[in-house]
Amino acid sequence: METTRAKIRAIQVGCGSMSKHWLDSARTIPELEIVGLVDIFEEAARQRAAEQNFSDVVISSSLTSVLEQCKPDVVFNCTTPEAHSATTIEALQHGCHVLCEKPMADSLAHAHEMIDAARQAGKMVAIIQNRRYDVNIRQIKNFLASNPIGALTTVNSDFYIGAHFGNFRDHMKHVLLLDMAIHTFDSARFLIDADPVAVYCKEWNPSGSWYDQDASAIAIFEMSNGVVYTYRGSWCANGLPTTWESDWRLLGSEGTVTWNGGKELAAQSVTGVEAGAFYGTYKSLEVPPYESAEKIGGHRGIIQEFVECIQTGKTPETNVQDNIKSLAMVLGAIESAESGKRVEIHS
């Protein structure tokens, strides 16, 4: 006879625009129950509760109050980056696991404080790097595992979107690197299966930009397995936009994979080079679909995994002990852009 597990009680802290994606996904997971909403502007929490048809959740501008009233198992931390560490640490001190919005923190020092607090509390903290849970990137990762193009040597990603936010992002320093590139950098770590060693980055604000600060960047990363990873991006690129997942080219010693960030995947491997020939001969490779139902579905996929880890004691893929390396890529790129020098990355 199967034992029915008690529902995992969760509160959401931060009820801005991104919180809708969290709550829409959380409500599809039967094992999860939302019992509280917190926002420094209490009306924002009330509006979110009304949109979600929550009639019996605790609503407050005080995290401490909701933690004490609800005694949740998990806190969904959807606050701003500068509030991530303080919110996470308070939740841990109240005995909660935490799933936190990206980027992990606003500094490596605060990130390490989160890691130390999680260790002391004996609780899990993970970051919602939802793009890792896209079925297409899982398809590529699964394909690369069979070594179809030889050893990876070079990985390139391009991100070009003309985004008119009309909000605080229009005035942010390092807006592209700090607010968006974390997704692409984390995806690169996932695909390359290596950690960052060093970076050189150039930032600038192109003519015609509607941002106050630099909204374009190029970064060259040296990875721990010898792969060179390059990132080119702009948030003020007019025309022919890429997907939000970027446009990718992965080069191996024996072939190449391309991915447009959506459903367009292609792969070729070299079959030989005839004596005196200028070009080699190539054959197209089939990239099999990703058949597993595990770890897919964007926000839902990562929240589902986090719930299962709470139930089973397994470690989330995007746990803070690992994800700090993705944050270090962002902060290293910013340091390089500011100094104009190659920067060694330490996390």
- Tell me: the pLDDT tens digits for 173-211? 999 998 899 999 999 999 999 999 999 999 999 999 999
CB 255 within 8 A of CB 150: yes
CB 325 within 8 A of CB 309: no
Average pLDDT over residues 301-307: 93
- DSSP characters for 130-188? GGGG-HHHHHHHHHHTT-TT-SEEEEEEEEE-B----SGGGG-TTHHHHHTHHHHHHHH
Residue 327 has pLDDT above 70, yes or no: yes
Residue 115 has pLDDT above 90, yes or no: yes
| pLDDT value, residue 5 | 63
Radius of gyration of the chain (CA): 21
Short-list 342, 338, 311, 331, CA closest to 3: 311
| Token couple for 264 | 């367009």
| pLDDT value, residue 277 | 78
How far apart CA 283 and CA 266 sit, in angstroms, is 11
| Token couple for 3 | 């034992």
Quick check: bond before 103 cis, omega within 30? yes
Query: pTM of this prediction?
Result: 0.92
pLDDT tens per residue, range 238-288: 999 999 999 999 999 999 999 999 999 999 999 988 877 788 899 999 999
| pLDDT value, residue 6 | 79
More confident residue, 158 or 18: 158
How far apart CA 302 and CA 317 sit, in angstroms, is 9
Residue 167 has pLDDT above 90, yes or no: no
How confident is the prediction for the chain on average, in pLDDT?
94
pLDDT range class, residue 2, cuts 50, 70, 90: very low
